[in-house]
Amino acid sequence: MKTRELGKSGLEVSALGLGCMGMSYSYGVPPDKAGMVKLLRTAVDLGVTFFDTAEMYGPFANEELLGEALAPVRGKVVIATKFGFNIDLKAPRGLSGVNSRPEHVREVADASLKRLRTDHIDLFYQHRVDPAVPIEDVAGAVKDLIRAGKVRHFGLSEAGAGTIRRAHAVQRVTALQSEYSLWTRGVEKEILPLLEELGIGLVPYSPLGRGFLSGKLDERTEFAANDFRRNMPRFTPEAMRANRALVDLLAAIGKKKNATPAQIALAWLLARKPWIVPIPGTTRLSRLEENLGAAEVELSPADLREMDEAAGRIKVLGERYPEALQRMTGL
């Protein structure tokens, strides 16, 4: 597996990481834990060194899963986790609003260290911006954790340009994690140039559009009652039918490159900037192997121009999130 540096931070990771949320949370009934431990260890064997989790995934279960699976290889891997929510197991999705008060950040760090069975967190993201807490205070809290040796790098998620600048002035921001894919391109106009200017890496989550860009879903797909895509605007039958044009584009390019739509979608991200590290998630070995194969797909400048021009003619139907979730999390 090829490696990449996240911005100019010195943090080197595999060119493709592994988003682990779906192993414990959001996509229907969680898979068997023993199977997920095996998958995580297989990912390491295949060259993955970058694993993404959060206290809210479960809640808590995903960090515990990674702690168990990665403990034997802890020195070989980079673990990213997140703070920034009040966890309430009785609330919808286990959350009751954002919380980045410095004392809460410290509490989350200590609890995450125990669940992850480690003495340090490689990359500690603020999961969502807390409008009630100045970002300077948040960055200062993480800076203290870095000085204490509990955290190595600071990250932000879904933050705007002004917030990124202010945080970076207090404590270097190593990476921004935001949704980015062929059907979610909001970071391109303002955020990508800022990250390049400041030397910050980008970690795109949902780089396969929560599975849609793989070509495995269509308007006939039935989601489980506890699969959060069931209530997402882009996953209505009407939206999936309209957005199929993007999958057709990926398939057409893939036919030329002997690659799958998922591999083309990931290769497109890898080709944008050398400091972009996507974190596709999966619970299946065959999908893991398919995704990692994207690192070997070469897209030329002409390929990228063709894709951008074609994608520009496709109007994506549906918002990223339902309105209620967007209000609660600031997504």
131: its two tokens = 């409008």
For position 96, what pLDDT does the model report? 83
Range of the domain at 157: 3-329
Per-residue pLDDT, averaged over 215-243, amounts to 95
For the chain, the domain total comes to: 1
For position 164, what pLDDT does the model report? 98
Sort 252 into a burial class: Cβ within 10 Å, 0-12 / 13-18 / 19+. middle
The pLDDT > 70 percentage for the chain reads 98
Confidence band, pLDDT 50/70/90 cuts, at residue 327 = low
For position 330, what pLDDT does the model report? 45
Is residue 121 over pLDDT 90? yes
For position 90, what pLDDT does the model report? 79
The reply to whether the predicted model has a pTM over 0.85 is yes
Per-residue pLDDT, averaged over 122-145, amounts to 98
Residue among 188, 205, 215 at smallest CA distance from 272: 188
Per-residue pLDDT, averaged over 63-72, amounts to 98
For position 329, what pLDDT does the model report? 47
CATH number at residue 222: 3.20.20.100
Residue among 269, 157, 285 at smallest CA distance from 213: 269
For position 19, what pLDDT does the model report? 98
Average confidence score pLDDT of the chain: 95
171: its two tokens = 């404590």
* Residues labelled catalytic: 57
Is residue 331 over pLDDT 50? no
Cα dihedral 273→274→275→278 (10° resolution):
80
Query: Do the Cβ atoms of 95 and 85 come closer than 8 Å?
Result: yes
Is residue 311 over pLDDT 90? yes
Scan for tokens 């990359």, then name that residue.
123
Q: How far apart are the first and last CA of the chain?
A: 32
Three-state SS for 96?
Answer: strand
| Lowest mean pLDDT across 46-60, 136-150, 168-182, 311-325 | 311-325
Confidence band, pLDDT 50/70/90 cuts, at residue 196 = very high
Cα separation, 234 vs 311, whole angstroms: 16
Question: How many residues belong to the chain?
Answer: 331
Residue among 257, 288, 287, 255 at smallest CA distance from 271: 257
Query: Higher model confidence: residue 305 or residue 323?
Result: 305
For position 326, what pLDDT does the model report? 64
Query: Higher model confidence: residue 322 or residue 118?
Result: 118
For position 89, what pLDDT does the model report? 81
